[in-house]
Amino acid sequence: MESTLPDAFRARFPLLARRVYVNSCSQGALSLDVEAALAAFTESWHEHGSPWDQWVAEVERLRAVFAAAVGADLDEIAVMPSASAAIGAIATALAFDAARRQVVIGEFEFPTLAHIWLAQQRRGASIVWARAVDDTLTIDEYAARIDERTLVVPVTHVCFRNGYRLDVPRLAALCRERGAYMLLDDYQRTGTAPLNVHALGVDFMVTGTLKYLLGPSGVAFLYVRRALVERLEPLVTGWFGRADPFAFALQPLDWSSSARRFESGTPPVPNVYAATAGIALLQSVGFDAVERQVSRLVSRFVDGALARGFDVATPADPVRRGPLAVVRATDAAELVRRLAARGVIASARGTGLRASFHAYNNDADVDVILDALDAEATLVRRA
* CATH number of the structural domain spanning residue 200: 3.40.640.10
Do 146 and 260 lie in one domain? The reply is yes
Do 123 and 222 lie in one domain? The reply is yes
What are the residue ranges of helices labelled H in 308-331? none
Residue 235: name the closest of 88, 97, 127, 118 by CA: 88
Q: What is the pLDDT of residues 317-360, one digit of tens each?
A: 999 999 999 999 999 999 999 999 999 999 999 899 999 999 99
Which of 260, 282, 304 terminates a domain? The answer is 282
Q: What b/e string do you get for 254-274 counting C-beta neighbours within 10 Å, with b at 16 or more? A: ebbebbbbbbbeebbbbbbbb
| CA 323 to chain CA mean position, Å | 11
Residue 9: name the closest of 25, 32, 36 by CA: 32
Bridge partners (DSSP) of residue 183 are 154, 204
Q: Residue 42 belongs to what domain range?
A: 34-282
Q: Which stretch of DSSP H or E encloses residue 347?
A: strand 347-349
Which of 282, 305, 326 terminates a domain? The answer is 282
Do 188 and 320 lie in one domain? The reply is no
Do 276 and 292 lie in one domain? The reply is no
Do 115 and 233 lie in one domain? The reply is yes
Do 13 and 43 lie in one domain? The reply is no
Q: What is the pLDDT of residue 5?
A: 81
Q: In this structure, what CATH number is given to the domain that contains residue 359? A: 3.90.1150.10
Do 220 and 337 lie in one domain? The reply is no
Do 47 and 11 lie in one domain? The reply is no
Residue at 1 is within a domain: no
Q: Which stretch of DSSP H or E encloses residue 223?
A: strand 220-224
Strand 344-345 vs strand 20-21: parallel, antiparallel, or unpaired?
Answer: parallel
Residue at 2 is within a domain: no
* 328: helix, strand or coil: strand
**What is the DSSP annotation of 26-55?**
T-PPPPHHHHHHHHHHHHHHHHHS--HHHH
Instruction: Name the stretches of the chain with pLDDT < 50.
Output: 1
> Does pTM surpass 0.85?
yes
Rounded CA-CA distance 306/126 in Å is 41
- The percentage of the chain sitting over the pLDDT mark of 70, rounded to a whole number, equals 99
| CA 120 to chain CA mean position, Å | 22
Q: What is the pLDDT of residue 1?
A: 44
Number of structural domains the chain divides into? 2
Which of 249, 282, 315 terminates a domain? The answer is 282
Do 49 and 18 lie in one domain? The reply is no
Q: What is the pLDDT of residue 6?
A: 78
Do 20 and 135 lie in one domain? The reply is no
